[in-house]
């Protein structure tokens, strides 16, 4: 359907990310490493802003959630207990002619999509990366790179409970790297072999899980909206009984309309008491909770919203991407929510001459302590506006010759292209108010609207 297509294609996003320093292929000077990506100066800021927004909303603003940062390498028994050693597999088929490998559920028929050769019968391929702990490469030293961050949460359940004395319901949240030896990768940072997850394990009394499942689903839809993602670009997909993961009794995915179509951005699963029970069994330590109300030990159930940071970066880039016309010229603009934009403001002296440069540098240095800014004095101011629009900078501060006399600057807003004149002493306060979402045309004392320019 026509309205089911994203308004930007993947090539445009990949090329913008490469050109402006958001995302580069990993080890590019050696020809890149398949499905691994490096975040450049702007991508690192964007990604950090996204993770900070999540941590703020999920951990810091809530009494009932605490944070954790557990290690990537864990005791190998963790993956026996969690079921990953046996169940974390995809069906793999291999072409008997060109030896290319595919996920069996992603090819139709029995012919190789690459060369038309005959495909082998499917076999189960475990997606966990293996490595060795210590100086001896032997079976006893095998450890795995975690394929999901949440197991670090389950094995620390008792530590967190004892040290924080949280009462049910409560959650443990974590952001960190996960690794999966995916058979097929692709679509830029959508499916890679090394990625980051933001996971919340929310522990509840048995029987209360269905209610909390609905609660977290709604919280996440609201949170995505607060980041500026359009609601019409999100939809829900309930897993059928035959596709549920080995630990889940209910899973709903939030899909985003990516350039390649509707795909999973985040999953919410009802993991019941599967993980705590399994780790209790395999470690010999009972992982339970003493319920003061009923005076009983119970194994809490868990609701898990899990979102991939890289997928969210991609969704935010696609959702922010826009093209419009400024002063008769087309421009590319990333309409990031200001809280996510890599730079909040760009400081632009009209000319490279002193004393304009000194005034602009002083303003930039003063702002930098509190607001992430950039400084640009190369080429015409129109071209500099375009460059900032393309990386999503919400405000440009222009210092012109009149600024030397009246000690005022022009602040131009990315989306409306409105411009106001503001006293130097009021820049910080004005930007802070605007970044907090106050109306653009509320002027500081001594300020004036000076029009709308590209």
| Residue 278: closest CA among 81, 24, 109 | 81
Environment class of residue 116 by beta-carbon count within 10 Å: exposed (0-12), middle (13-18) or buried (19+)?
exposed
Contact 175, 51 (CB under 8 A): yes
Contact 25, 38 (CB under 8 A): yes
Identify the DSSP state of 341: -
Name the residue with the smallest CB distance to ligand GAP. Answer: 308
Residue range at the interface with ligand GAP (CB under 6 A); choices 166-174, 194-202, 363-371, 404-412:
194-202
Shortest Cβ 285–ligand GAP spacing (Å) = 22
Answer for which of 197, 388, 403, 419 binds ligand GAP (CB under 6 A) is: 197
User: Which of positions 152-181 make contact with ligand GAP (CB under 6 A)?
Assistant: 180
Binding flag, residue 220, ligand GAP (CB under 6 A):
no
Which CB, 38 or 362, lies closer to ligand GAP?
Answer: 38
Binding flag, residue 229, ligand GAP (CB under 6 A):
no
Residue 153 CA, chain-centre distance (Å), reads: 20
Count the Cβ atoms, other than its own, within 10 Å of residue 238.
Answer: 9
Shortest Cβ 377–ligand GAP spacing (Å) = 39
- Degrees to nearest 5, angle at CA 24 with 367 and 177: 85
3-state secondary structure of 131: strand
Which CB, 80 or 415, lies closer to ligand GAP?
Answer: 80
Environment class of residue 289 by beta-carbon count within 10 Å: exposed (0-12), middle (13-18) or buried (19+)?
buried
Answer for which of 300, 308, 342, 392 binds ligand GAP (CB under 6 A) is: 308
Residue range at the interface with ligand GAP (CB under 6 A); choices 24-32, 187-195, 277-285, 382-390:
187-195
Which CB, 209 or 310, lies closer to ligand GAP?
Answer: 310
Answer for which of 94, 199, 209, 263 binds ligand GAP (CB under 6 A) is: 199
User: Which of positions 134-153 make contact with ligand GAP (CB under 6 A)?
Assistant: 148, 150
Q: At what angle do helices 309-320 and 10-20 cross, to 10 degrees?
A: 100
Which CB, 182 or 322, lies closer to ligand GAP?
Answer: 182
The count of C-alpha atoms lying within 13 angstroms of the C-alpha of 378, restricted to the half-sphere facing its C-beta, is: 3
Shortest Cβ 46–ligand GAP spacing (Å) = 16
Phi first, then psi, for residue 58 (nearest 5°) are: -90, -35
Positions in the binding site for ligand GAP (CB under 6 A): 148, 150, 180, 182, 191-192, 195, 197, 199, 264-267, 304, 306-308, 310-311
């Amino acid at each position: 359907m026509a309205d089911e297509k994203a308004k930007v294609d993947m090539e445009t996003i990949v090329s913008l990310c490469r050109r402006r320093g958001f995302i580069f292929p990993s080890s590019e000077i050696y020809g890149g490493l398949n499905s691994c990506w490096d975040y450049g100066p702007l991508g690192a800021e964007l990604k950090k802003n996204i993770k900070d927004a999540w941590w703020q909303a999920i951990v810091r603003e809530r009494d009932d959630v605490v944070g954790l940062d557990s290690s990537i390498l864990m005791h190998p028994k963790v993956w026996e207990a969690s079921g990953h050693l046996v169940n974390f597999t995809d069906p793999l088929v291999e072409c008997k002619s060109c030896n290319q490998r595919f996920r069996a559920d992603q090819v139709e028929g029995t012919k190789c999509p690459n060369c038309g050769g005959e495909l082998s019968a499917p076999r189960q391929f475990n997606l966990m990366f293996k490595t060795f702990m210590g100086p001896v490469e032997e079976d006893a030293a095998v450890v795995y790179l975690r394929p999901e961050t949440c197991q670090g949460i389950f094995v620390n359940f008792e530590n967190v409970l004892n040290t924080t004395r949280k009462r049910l319901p409560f959650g443990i949240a974590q952001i960190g790297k996960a690794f999966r030896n995916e058979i097929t990768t692709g679509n830029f940072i959508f499916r890679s072999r090394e990625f980051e997850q933001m996971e919340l394990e929310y522990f509840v009394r048995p029987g209360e899980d269905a209610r909390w499942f609905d609660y977290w689903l709604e919280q996440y839809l609201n949170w995505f909206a607060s980041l500026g993602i359009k609601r019409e670009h999100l939809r829900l997909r309930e897993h059928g009984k035959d596709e549920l993961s080995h630990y889940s009794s209910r899973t709903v995915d939030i899909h985003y309309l990516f350039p390649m179509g509707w795909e999973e951005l985040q999953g919410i699963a009802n993991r019941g008491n599967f993980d705590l029970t399994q780790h209790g069994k395999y470690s010999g330590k009972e992982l339970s909770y003493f319920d003061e109300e009923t005076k009983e030990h119970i194994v809490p159930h868990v609701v898990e919203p899990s979102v991939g940071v890289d997928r969210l970066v991609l969704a935010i880039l696609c959702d922010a991407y826009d093209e419009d016309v400024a002063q008769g010229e087309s421009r590319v603009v990333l309409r990031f929510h200001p809280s996510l934009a890599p730079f909040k403001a760009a400081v632009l002296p009209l000319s490279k001459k002193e004393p304009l440069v000194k005034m602009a540098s002083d303003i930039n240095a003063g702002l930098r302590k509190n607001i992430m800014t950039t400084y640009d004095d190369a080429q015409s101011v129109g071209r500099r506006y375009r460059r900032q629009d393309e990386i999503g900078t919400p405000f440009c501060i222009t210092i012109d010759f009149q600024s030397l006399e009246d000690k005022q600057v022009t602040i131009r807003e990315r989306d409306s292209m409105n411009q106001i004149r503001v006293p130097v002493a009021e820049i910080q306060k004005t930007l802070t108010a605007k970044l907090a979402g106050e109306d653009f045309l509320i002027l500081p004392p001594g300020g004036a609207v000076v029009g709308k320019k590209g």
